[in-house]
Amino acid sequence: MIHEPVLLKEIIALLNLKEGDNAIDATLDGGGHAKAMFESIKPSGKILGIDQDSEMVKKMNSIKNLVAVTGNFRDIGEIASRNNFKNPKAILFDLGLSRWHLEKSGRGFSFQKPDEPILMQFDAGSQKNAAIILNAYPETELAEIFKKFGEVRAPHQIAEKIVFARKRKRIYSVGDLLAILGIKNKKSLAKIFQALRIAVNDELAALEEAIQGGFRILVPGGKLAVISYHSLEDRVVKNFFKSEVAKGNAENILKKPLAPALEEISKNPSARSAKLRVLQKI
């Protein structure tokens, strides 16, 4: 199962793409948003799809008029240039974690998969993973990760437990970490796993670079749409949008972030925390 395309109807209406336009789906995943955007721009418009995971890209390569590329969206300008992809009228970032990564990747993204190795990297070829962080980072740095990226309670106590436990046995699996933490509360575990995932993939810095780079390559009148799922990434988006509006470079299309309707949340509970912001380049 893949990440459901959240706020699909609303995004298509707000982007208002026309036949012949070009657009970028910077978080391709299962291609749900990309396919819907193509319906607006076909037959001559093109979609550039970017995903860090080569497994996702392989599944999308057969779709007509979709240029599917493996890469980090922080390099969006370079990727567009390298693929001779010009004049995007819309760029979409859906920052939600794919269900495939949680349920099928085998990389330890979910605390409900105790037997999986605790890796958490989107790019399977990356040398950095959660096991390296847990086994090698100093206690102070671990605490900072849990505090900054997970906003967890008692981050120093969690870090202390990990450092104490790893002296006796290396941490290899999700189950190893769960045994050390001894935490049953799912919300607390979700925050800890979120913090590790963000640290492994440098998500917040990558997001900041990505939306800056995306905005630069948009044509005047083009729209940048971002769906965020937690306050840390939403803050990055909000601050960037506010800055560009203040400079007179853009205007907000929405007065406040758009959230999914109750009907969508009932069908797709993972959409409940989604927030959509849309910025139009002047």
* CA distance linking residue 177 with residue 162, whole number of Å: 8
Q: Quote the distance between the C-alpha of residue 214 and its chain's center.
A: 15
* CA distance linking residue 225 with residue 236, whole number of Å: 13
- Is the distance from CB of 213 to CB of 74 less than 8 angstroms? yes
* Residue 77 marked ligand-binding: no
* Residue 25 marked ligand-binding: no
* Residue 73 marked ligand-binding: yes
* Residue 94 marked ligand-binding: yes
- Is the distance from CB of 123 to CB of 53 less than 8 angstroms? yes
* Residue 53 marked ligand-binding: no
HEC profile of 3-44: CCCCCHHHHHHHHCCCCCCEEEECCCCCCHHHHHHHHHHCCC
* CA distance linking residue 36 with residue 233, whole number of Å: 25
* Residue 51 marked ligand-binding: yes
* Residue 193 marked ligand-binding: no
* CA distance linking residue 122 with residue 130, whole number of Å: 11
Q: 223 - beta bridge partners?
A: 90, 280
- Binding-site entries for S-adenosyl-L-methionine: 31-33, 51, 73, 94, 101
- Binding-site entries: 31-33, 51, 73, 94, 101
